[in-house]
Amino acid sequence: MKFTAKQIADILEGVVIGNSNVAVTKISKIEEGDEGSLTFLSNLKYQPFIYTTKASVVIVNKTFEPEKEIATTLIKVEDAYSSFSKLLEFYNQAKNNKQGREKPCFISESATIGENEYIGAFSYIGENVKLGKNVKIYPNSYIGDDVVIGDNSRVFAGVKIYADTIIGTNCTIHSGSVIGSDGFGFAPDKNGEFQAIPQIGNVIIEDNVDIGANSTIDRATMGSTIIRKGVKLDNQIQIAHNSEIGKNTVIASQTGVAGSTKVGEHCMIGGQVGIAGHLNLGNNLQIQAQSGISKNLKDGLKVQGSPAFAYGDFFKSYVLFKNLPKITSALNKIEKEFNTQKPNDE
């Protein structure tokens, strides 16, 4: 996409210093900028690069005053970093603002689709599906029967959404994710063979949720698996049947939440955390990477370890563990000296 310095300044409510008609078609780091690229300067550590960059346009704070001649066009704004972030979001929305229906794709006659939709090639839209306004379904996606997807949500390529799933507004589901597959429910019969328990519930994803690539969220056995408003899930995360993730909780990659566990609001959970089933985890938790959670946690705790315990105690214990050979050697030396100095009873 092509933008002039003036168009960018209008979006950011900034002021152009230089050639307002110069055009940019890409974004770069300031130290790697070349002709036709846009970059920004907010960290003074990178200020020397503004005099050597070949980027066509640089966004800077309005307080910036060059110490020598600059070849590039400047756009002065209140806050260069936040303005650049705003521009990235604008660029991303414009880039992904596809519309129309590509062929081949299958759309059931009973499906209801809002305006400004995008249905990518080889996608499947099942019976009684309801898509809101400005919903984007990228190629090779499967949307099962009776699925509801709210306004402005995006489903990237290769996503599979099983029947009865409900997805709110402004959600993003990245490629390869599977929403609503059967929960891991099996029971042994009298012969010790495991028989599948029918999973007849669904998945509910509320508004403003982001789900990373290749993540899986299982449908409930009965009722719903629920991802509350504002949750952000990284790539390759597993949320099991009947679990609930509280609003504005963020979870890093490769974490697994077992069935029927409820995670509170505003929690921060690191990568490769394992959370056992049927637990209640409080609000505002911080769970460090690779921790194992096997019991309920109260509000506001910061934990680490497997099984996890208080973060401060973990690091005190780790220091001792790391120095255990030295400590053992010192204790052996003390014991040896004590035995040598012990008076003879005979």
Compute the residue count for the chain.
Answer: 346
| C-alpha–C-alpha distance, residues 277 and 255, integer Å | 13
| C-alpha–C-alpha distance, residues 67 and 70, integer Å | 9
194, amino acid identity: F
Cis omega (within 30 of 0) for bond into 198: no
Residue pair 148/162 in contact (Cβ under 8 Å)? The answer is no
Residue keyed to tokens 């910061």? 302
Nearest to 43 by CA among 29, 33, 57, 56: 29
Query: Which tokens hold the place of 84?
Result: 């650049």
User: In degrees to the nearest 10, what's the CA dihedral of 124, 126, 130, 134?
Assistant: 10
Return phi, psi of residue 344, to 5°.
-80, 125
Which are the contacts of 248, defined by CB distance < 8 A and separation ≥ 6?
228, 229, 230, 231, 265, 266
The CB density around residue 7, as the number of other CB atoms within 10 Å, is: 14
CA torsion sign, 262 to 264 to 265 to 271? Answer: negative
170, amino acid identity: N
Residue pair 140/123 in contact (Cβ under 8 Å)? The answer is yes
Q: Is 241 a catalytic residue?
A: yes
Residue pair 203/179 in contact (Cβ under 8 Å)? The answer is yes
Buried b (16+ CB within 10 A) or exposed e, 187-226: eeeeeeeeeeeebebbbbbbbbbbbbbebbbbbbbeebbb
Q: Choose the catalytic residue: 174, 241, 266, 278.
A: 241
Cα-trace Rg, the chain? 28
- Active-site residues, by number, are 241
